[in-house]
Amino acid sequence: MTTPSSITVTVPGSTMLLGEHAVLYGYPAVVCAVDQYVTLTLSPRDDRKIQIHSTTLGEYETNLDALVIQKPFQFILASIMQWKDKLERGFDLEIASEFSDQIGLGSSAAVTVATLAAIQQWLASGFDWEKLHQAGIEVIRQVQGLGSGGDILASIYGGIIYYRADSLKFDRFKTKLPIHLIYSGYKTPTVEVVKKVEKTAHAYPKIFSKLFLAMGECVEAGKKAIQDENWSQLGEIFNMHQGLQEALGVNDKNLHDIISQTRAFNTVLGSKISGAGLGDCILALGDLPQHCFPKDESQRKQGVKQIPISVSMKGVVLKN
């Protein structure tokens, strides 16, 4: 039997634009792929071993007959398990990421999509996009217990995506948005923040149902602004949405300061938390000169950084 040659895929990271949290309560959201990539090479083996070498996660070795989901490789191992019944031989995975898994650029989703796509390409000789989407969401929900799957969609298809968590349907826009990310220097795990919001939502059901509804309205208005490429309107919507994120209890002093500092530039049209909140990244729309952050010594010590990004039109790409 000849050993098939290696398969290499590149997959973009992602960032949420609008609809965080509310998307987990039945409302739509908008996510976009960013031009920071995970590259994964799968090299088939003649035995049943699986060897993983990741630039961010380290080394791991296992066997097809001894697969268990183990940190920090949980998303990769859960993705391999999706194909367990069809795998007759092992393989090596070489994974290189342009971004840290500590920064909320959807690294778990990107590595999940990369693993699933490479195995699918190897065993099925091509991509089945819907199957990839479904399997990706299953992995995220199996490992985290929750997740809207927006990061999976963005990593698969690229561009800007309007979606709902309970549907495989979505709308994709190929618009180039002028966005900037500022990392706050720390991240509270998404699941922890989601549980906190859930707890407050249980305590104040009437108020939170209205907050989520208003976030859904921001998403619909934001989608229209993106379609019209009306960035000043989208900036206003970002600011309104941020007000609602604040009301959910996911803002903190550091994020508040960074948001105010970005808004002090008259070229910035709007800014908000991107993702779950209580740390992670601030998203600013418009023009922000390079190297504005960290603003001072205390932000430098905290690990605040400006991350140069733009929307990636590419999703999963098979190399060579």
- Residues lying near ligand MEV in the complex (CB under 6 A) are found at 16, 20-21, 23-24, 147-148, 150, 190, 194, 275-276
CA 256 to chain centre: 22
Q: Which CB, 156 or 194, lies closer to ligand MEV? A: 194
Quote the least distance from Cβ 229 to ligand MEV, whole Å: 24
Amino acid present at 272: K
Q: Which residues pair with 162 in a beta bridge?
A: 30, 171
Separation between Cα atoms, residue 286 and residue 251, nearest integer Å: 22
CB of 142 to ligand MEV, least distance (A): 14
Instruction: Report the nearest approach of ligand MEV to the CB of residue 320 (Å).
Output: 32
Nearest residue (CB) to ligand MEV, 31 versus 87: 31
CB distance 281 to 309 below 8 Å: no
Q: How far is the CB of 140 from ligand MEV (least distance, A)?
A: 8
Which residue lies nearest ligand MEV, judged by its C-beta? Answer: 148
Inter-residue contact 83 to 119 (CB < 8 Å): yes
Of the pair 23, 132, the CB lying nearest ligand MEV is at 23
Comparing CB distances to ligand MEV, the nearer of 20 and 236 is: 20
Alpha helices in the chain (DSSP H): 74-82, 107-124, 129-144, 150-157, 190-203, 205-227, 231-248, 253-263, 297-302
279 contacts: CB under 8 Å, gap ≥ 6:
184, 185, 186, 187, 188, 252, 254, 255
Q: How far apart are CA 198 and CA 212, in angstroms?
A: 12
| Rounded CA Rg of the chain | 20
Residue number with CB closer to ligand MEV (140 or 268): 140
Least distance in angstroms from the C-beta of 38 to ligand MEV:
17
Minimum distance of ligand MEV from residue 106's CB (angstroms): 8
Q: Which residues contact 280 (CB under 8 A, 6 or more apart)?
A: 103, 104, 183, 184, 186, 187, 188, 273, 274
Closest CB to ligand MEV among residues 147, 158: 147
Nearer to ligand MEV, 21 or 223 (CB): 21
Q: Which of 142, 11, 6, 13 is nearest to 81 (CA)?
A: 142
Residues 6+ apart with CB under 8 A from 257: none
Measured from the CB atom, the residue of 80 and 197 that comes closer to ligand MEV is: 197
